[in-house]
Amino acid sequence: METPEISIVIPAYNEEQGIRQGLERIVEMKFHERFEVIYIDDGSTDNTYNIIHEFPVKCYRHNINKGYGAALKTGIRKAKGKKVVILDSDGQHDPKYIETLIGMLDEHDMVIGERTDDSFQVKRRQGGKRFIRMIGEFLVEQKLPDYNSGFRGFDRKLIYEMLHIMPNGFSFSTTSTLAFLKEGYTIGTFPIVVEERIGRQSNVKFVKDGSKTILLLMRIIMLFNPLKLFFPASLVMFILGLTWGILGYFIAGRFPNSASLVTSMSVFIFFIGLLADQVAMLNRTKRG
């Protein structure tokens, strides 16, 4: 069988109310005849798996729910296409944008569908998203595109080499964006309109799952640029320790023990940061 040029990977979890619309659109536009279309049922407990099997697409199933990122990893590993397109199965992403995205993949390593201002977004998550964007832009030292848009495409070889650092949870999109930027790959964007999801509410709740958001931020920092955190911390502690030591010398005639401790800690933190940076570089090493 001839190797397909494009593979479309769509993760699904308990989407029986909304998944049929996307499947019908894909068949209507004959994408299943021109491309490899792969659905990953991530351990659904409803009728999602059976609905997918009504349509002429490939479907793989997790025995348990492993997470959004884990479903995408499975799909990318199963995909045979040279390019991979991912989108959500809940009706938010219109498949009509797929051809535009595919056309841009000839010139870019990654292409992201950027949500327009009039696209549907859950307002309670916007504060958390802005905070993550600030952290991401601080780490990569440039403006970020729509870093957590679920509608995107990659060169399969490049994303496959990075799967070992991609999380199994909802932050796959964020991590992949930062990884491609950090490695110097080209990222193209184009506007898309995103509709409100069909069926159940999203599993991602930035307010309720605030601890997960904080852990995500810490993971991103430690994975992509730990010195951005460790160096300023060590510098501040060094300045505080030295200042306190000088004041103590002039006031009490000696260098306080506490100042010595803080200054020493600043040096330890700096070298821990160097070590963390080397470990992060090893973790990001490409794997075939």
What's CA 107's distance to the chain center, in Å? Answer: 22
pLDDT, tens digit, 9 for 90 and up, residues 34-46? 999 999 999 999 9
Neighbouring CB atoms inside 10 A of 207's CB total 11
Please give the Cα distance from 221 to 182 (Å, whole number): 12
Question: Within the chain, how many helices (H) and strands (E) appear?
Answer: 11, 7
pLDDT digit string, tens, across residues 170-216: 789 888 988 898 888 999 999 998 877 776 665 555 445 556 666 77
Is the distance from CB of 240 to CB of 158 less than 8 angstroms? no
- Give the model's pLDDT for residue 286: 63
In angstroms, the CA 167 to CA 225 distance is 17
Q: Among 10-24, 66-80, 219-233, which stretch is predicted with the lowest mean pLDDT?
A: 219-233
Choose among 120, 124, 127, 123: nearest CA to 149: 120
pLDDT at 214: 66
Mean pLDDT (the chain) is 86
User: What is the structure's pLDDT at 129?
Assistant: 64
SS3 154: strand
pLDDT at 204: 54
pLDDT digits (tens, 9 = 90+) for 248-284: 888 888 888 888 999 999 999 999 999 998 888 887 7
Write the class of the CATH domain 6-224.
alpha beta
HSE-CB at 67 with a 13 A cutoff on CA atoms is 12
CA distance 170 to 172: 6
Amino acid letter, residue 270: F
Instruction: Give the mean pLDDT of 96-123.
Output: 86
- 49-103 pLDDT tens trace: 999 999 999 999 999 999 999 999 999 999 999 999 999 988 788 899 999 999 9
